[in-house]
Chains A and B, each alone.
Chain A
């Protein structure tokens, strides 16, 4: 007891700083990067650049929303990049029946992968890392079996979805905003969201309380699959090509970074959607800044590695309190 009180007495200063960093550090990071770019990057403050950045951040953010749900339930979804690849393959295969059929096929593929993930985790009891790792390997393999190499996607409807806009706002951005609102509403205002957070807090307690643990977990991974599939569809529409070899590689890492940097603890029980949005923007800005200042892509990878370790480190101090 004496030890505990001694610890709590000396701790507040430091842990208050860490708590602030965990909650608002991501916004500060975005602000710093914005100020830096306004001051030192040519043509940063242009409508065109703003539009480019917004369109590019869309897939990361959409995938990160699903990842936030998985992490909130004390899980993880490593298969998201492969689901994007699977989605782009299915789009290439079913585009002949129109873009909506292609979208439906992609979403169904995402649901299927998510349900397999969810069943392994909820019913068999496999650790989320392992279950989704298996789907990460198998999913990309399946995508490559369906579409062995890069294929052009030529469809006016798809092109419009990828680069057209409504009242000056690009469709991908509109879709992203809608999904952010939907997920935020689900987490904060619905029974499902409450159940998800309760499960993430303590699975045994949630089970004892009579919550439908298995059904909720199944839905969480299915939702993550659907969101990754939508991201894959939008990326395909924008690139006007289906490239299952490279689309979505390392996406799981970007998504996890966005979620963790945004202040969602890896230990589950809590989801910060606003932070996740800012986290995705931070990653995008970081990449863009390094590219615009002629630093090679390898620096982006190193920088992202450092950012993720720092973010997890800050979160750790908060968790220990």
Chain B
């Protein structure tokens, strides 16, 4: 596979990967970017499994590839359909709007998490960074929306940078570094809010508050921002050299550095991106709530990881796609919404369901991954 002909030949495996029956109607976001062949390096590790010629692929293989890639979407459509039939209030525009807005903030965080997980790492600090971003933005909003956003993005990007440097340059384990950052960021946030006693308010008529509350064509601004970010994220991961390096680093670090990817720089960038997006999500959330709420973001890292994994990204790295994470977020939020609609169940069930869901998805993925591995190593394949 040379660089010049991947575009032409690469299209076919990508389509075959979709099982040939992807319905475009529900998966519109960034789909073009998602389905596109990887530019440049055709031998990106994560795609090795799906780049064989179409006709020799047995049916079971196509089914498992389809389950990996679109299982979450099927589950989302089914859940939404069942919910719409069972609860009159589910399909209500107001309710859908609620789901969309509450999904928007988590989705932005999950987008950054997707990059981190594809690169073979994990970022447990996003929940704290999200809260910190919100508090900083709310504090800065008295000096205008630009200050609010810049303050949140600078500090949160800085935390991502520290994470990235410790992981990439000092070669420390990602989960332990980001676990420490989770503690440190929350400590910092509590420190600037007088141990959580101060709540910074965003003036309701300010430009910054509009960022969270205004609507465009009947849909909230945060939702539009989220969609735009996912489109950009899809292009970044699939169409750029950086994106290919992220896949390569996640697939096999040594191979990635042999093929000329700067492993350290890629890893640092990924954690900076995750910090920036978590901070931005926090800032938008503060604009939406019109205050920097200090207790937010706890457990958000788990939700984001769940969403990414449910969306078909492998936790082992090297394989994944951003539109799946969006679907994963929506699926989690729809389930949460349904649990809220069943009045007798309290919100603790959401955690039980999220945990159980994560277990099921991970077990299925591990099983699919093992079959893929077996296929690759068997002489017949």
CB-CB under 8 A from A266, the residues of chain B are 173, 176
Residue with the highest number of chain A CB atoms closer than 10 Å, among B183, B302, B362, B367: B183
Q: Does B170 contact A125, Cβ atoms closer than 8 Å?
A: no
CB-CB under 8 A from A138, the residues of chain B are 351-352, 354-356, 358-359
Q: Which of B81-89, B146-154, B186-194, B256-264 contacts A (4 or more CB under 8 A)?
A: B186-194
A301 to B305 alpha-carbon distance, docked (Å): 23
CB-CB under 8 A from B370, the residues of chain A are 125
Partner of A316, one of B172, B349, B350: B172
Q: Does A129 contact B187, Cβ atoms closer than 8 Å?
A: no
CB-CB under 8 A from B189, the residues of chain A are 298
Q: Does A316 contact B176, Cβ atoms closer than 8 Å?
A: no
Q: Does B351 contact A144, Cβ atoms closer than 8 Å?
A: yes
B226 close to chain A: CB less than 8 A: no
CB-CB under 8 A from A260, the residues of chain B are 176
Q: Does A306 contact B184, Cβ atoms closer than 8 Å?
A: yes
A260 to B177 alpha-carbon distance, docked (Å): 12
Q: Does A312 contact B362, Cβ atoms closer than 8 Å?
A: no
A141 to B355 alpha-carbon distance, docked (Å): 8
Partner of B172, one of A141, A148, A305, A312: A312
Q: Does A130 contact B315, Cβ atoms closer than 8 Å?
A: yes
Mask of A116-152 contacts with B, CB within 8 angstroms, 1/0: 1000100011110111011111111111110010000
Main secondary structure of the interface of A (DSSP, over half): helix
Select from chain A the residue with minimum beta-carbon distance to B360. A134
Partner of B183, one of A141, A143, A304: A304
CB-CB under 8 A from B241, the residues of chain A are none
CB-CB under 8 A from B181, the residues of chain A are 305
A127 to B356 alpha-carbon distance, docked (Å): 16
A296 close to chain B: CB less than 8 A: yes
Q: Does A296 contact B195, Cβ atoms closer than 8 Å?
A: yes
CB-CB under 8 A from B54, the residues of chain A are none
A302 close to chain B: CB less than 8 A: yes
A110 to B366 alpha-carbon distance, docked (Å): 25
Select from chain A the residue with minimum beta-carbon distance to B351. A141
Q: Does A137 contact B183, Cβ atoms closer than 8 Å?
A: no
CB-CB under 8 A from A130, the residues of chain B are 309, 315, 358, 362
Select from chain A the residue with minimum beta-carbon distance to B301. A133
A144 to B370 alpha-carbon distance, docked (Å): 35
CB-CB under 8 A from A140, the residues of chain B are 351
Within 8 A of B (CB), among A94-126: 116, 120, 124-126
Chain B nearest Cβ from A214, distance in angstroms: 15
CB-CB under 8 A from A142, the residues of chain B are 348, 351-352
CB-CB under 8 A from A131, the residues of chain B are 359, 362
Within 8 A of A (CB), among B326-381: 346, 348-356, 358-359, 362-363, 366-367, 370
A54 to B244 alpha-carbon distance, docked (Å): 53
Interface footprint category on A: 35 or more
Partner of B190, one of A76, A256, A296: A296
| A/B pair count, beta carbons within 8 Å | 135
CB-CB under 8 A from A169, the residues of chain B are none
CB-CB under 8 A from A253, the residues of chain B are 179-180, 182-183
CB-CB under 8 A from B224, the residues of chain A are none
The total of chain B residues at the interface (CB under 8 A) is 46
Partner of A297, one of B180, B190, B309: B190
A313 close to chain B: CB less than 8 A: yes
B66 close to chain A: CB less than 8 A: no
Chain B nearest Cβ from A313, distance in angstroms: 6
A309 close to chain B: CB less than 8 A: yes
Q: Does A308 contact B356, Cβ atoms closer than 8 Å?
A: no
Q: Does A127 contact B183, Cβ atoms closer than 8 Å?
A: no
Partner of A148, one of B180, B299, B346, B355: B346
A300 close to chain B: CB less than 8 A: yes
Select from chain B the residue with minimum beta-carbon distance to A79. B355
A309 to B187 alpha-carbon distance, docked (Å): 15
Select from chain A the residue with minimum beta-carbon distance to B188. A302
Q: Does A127 contact B315, Cβ atoms closer than 8 Å?
A: yes
B74 close to chain A: CB less than 8 A: no
A125 to B316 alpha-carbon distance, docked (Å): 12
A129 to B172 alpha-carbon distance, docked (Å): 16
CB-CB under 8 A from A76, the residues of chain B are 175
Chain A nearest Cβ from B357, distance in angstroms: 8
Select from chain B the residue with minimum beta-carbon distance to A307. B180
A56 to B191 alpha-carbon distance, docked (Å): 24
CB-CB under 8 A from A120, the residues of chain B are 359, 362-363
CB-CB under 8 A from B367, the residues of chain A are 124
CB-CB under 8 A from B306, the residues of chain A are 137
A-B CB proximity, top 3 nearest: A138-B355, A141-B351, A301-B187
Having A143-B348, A313-B170, one finds 7 other A-B pairs with CB under 8 Å, namely: A120-B359, A127-B315, A130-B358, A133-B302, A134-B356, A135-B359, A308-B176
- A-binding residues in B (CB < 8 A): 122, 166, 170-173, 175-177, 179-184, 186-191, 195, 299, 302, 305-306, 309, 315-316, 346, 348-356, 358-359, 362-363, 366-367, 370
